[in-house]
Amino acid sequence: MEQFCEITLDRERLKSEIRSTYSLVAETPTGDFHFHRGPEYAARQLGYDGEELSMLPGASTASFAGVGNPFRVREMPSGAFVIDLGSGAGMDCLLAGRRVGRQGRVLGVDMTDAMLDLARTSAGKADMPQVEFAFGEITDLPIDDASVDLAISNGVINLAVDKPAVFKELYRVLKPGGWIQFADIVIDQELSEKARNDIDLWVG
Amino acid sequence: MMQAVGFQRCAATEFFDCFAGTTKENTARKYGVRGANFIAYKQ
């Protein structure tokens, strides 16, 4: 049975706090945050290939703050159009770009300008013209209907208050036969109403 | 939630102890907070 908990927090303030936190991560990835960052964490705790990460521009991996590893779910087909919801500094987009090749296309969408700047610079350094980035929110993607082969995301959907809207939007942009392979946070226990509406707990 | 909008063959495929070693490790263990990989298809 589907269950949806009521969320009454100030959504605009939450978005502002998310932008502020991830701008700090982009500018100072070694700063004091409650979540891990960086390529060593990605390799040690999430099963990324450390050797492959070492081949990417350091700025794209230093600010990585994912919670799982979408690349362990399923192989990505060469030539596919892949989107990344909340692409951050672009590490997963660059890895996807290596898999789809120059016949494919990767579009990362993020709402934090500092992360977009890092990601675009890294795609240029990596000489991956097939990897692009766009400003946008994951409930209103700047993407045509039924145009995407597969969507990835890593630790971002949990930050959306209206999660059904995210999945509706993903369903809209995917081609028939397309799929999502993503990582995010799960919790075994229902949180109190107070905790569900505490922006500090959402963002950290 | 994914099935409600039309996705099929939805599955969690792997779990990650992504908060181990952070300041939130104890809180994450208390509430069972983990990272997880998922897959789901649009028919």
pLDDT tens, position by position, A33-65: 989 999 999 999 999 999 999 999 999 999 999
* A177-to-A8, A108, A167 alpha-carbon distances in Å: 36, 21, 15
Report the residue from B4, B24, B42 with minimal CB separation from A178.
B42
Give the separation between CA B42 and CA A178, rounded to whole angstroms.
5
ipTM tops 0.90: yes
> Which chain A residues contact residue B19 at CB under 8 A?
35
Cβ atoms of B38 and B21 closer than 8 Å: no
3-class SS of residue A27 = helix
pTM of the model: 0.92
pLDDT score for A201: 72
Contact yes or no for A34 and B2 at CB 8 A: no
> Which chain B residues contact residue A184 at CB under 8 A?
35-36, 38
3-class SS of residue A4 = coil
CB contacts under 8 A, A 29-58 vs B, are 34-36, 45-46
pLDDT score for A1: 42
Contact yes or no for A36 and B34 at CB 8 A: no
Percent of chain B at pLDDT above 90? 84
Q: How confident is the model over A10-17, as a mean pLDDT?
A: 86
- Per-residue pLDDT of A125-140, as tens digits, reads 999 999 999 999 999 9
Mean pLDDT of chain A: 93
A21 in contact with B at a CB cutoff of 8 Å? no
Q: Write down the residue that tokens 């099929």 correspond to.
A: B8
* A66-to-A85, A160, B1, B18, B19 alpha-carbon distances in Å: 12, 15, 21, 8, 11
Contact yes or no for B39 and A180 at CB 8 A: yes
Residue type, A141: L
User: What's the full length of chain A, in residues?
Assistant: 204
pLDDT score for A121: 98
* A73-to-A97, A104, A182 alpha-carbon distances in Å: 16, 19, 8
Q: How confident is the model over A93-115, as a mean pLDDT?
A: 98
Report the residue from A72, A167, A188 with minimal CB separation from B14.
A72
Q: How confident is the model over B18-35, as a mean pLDDT?
A: 91
* A33-to-A25, A92, A197, A202, B22 alpha-carbon distances in Å: 8, 21, 20, 13, 8
Cβ atoms of A148 and A82 closer than 8 Å: yes
> Which chain B residues contact residue A185 at CB under 8 A?
18, 33-36
Strand partners, B39: A181, B11
- The residue among B41 and A30 whose pLDDT is bigger is B41
Task: Label residue A127 left, alpha or beta by phi (over 0 means left) and psi (-120 to 50 means alpha).
Answer: left
* B25-to-A64, A98, A194, B31, B33 alpha-carbon distances in Å: 19, 33, 20, 10, 9
DSSP A77: P
* 3-state SS, one letter per residue, for A101-166: CCCCEEEEEECCHHHHHHHHHHHHHCCCCCEEEEECECCECCCCCCCEEEEEEECCHHHCCCHHHH
- The residue among A182 and A201 whose pLDDT is bigger is A182
Give the separation between CA B17 and CA B19, rounded to whole angstroms.
6
> Which chain A residues contact residue B21 at CB under 8 A?
36, 45
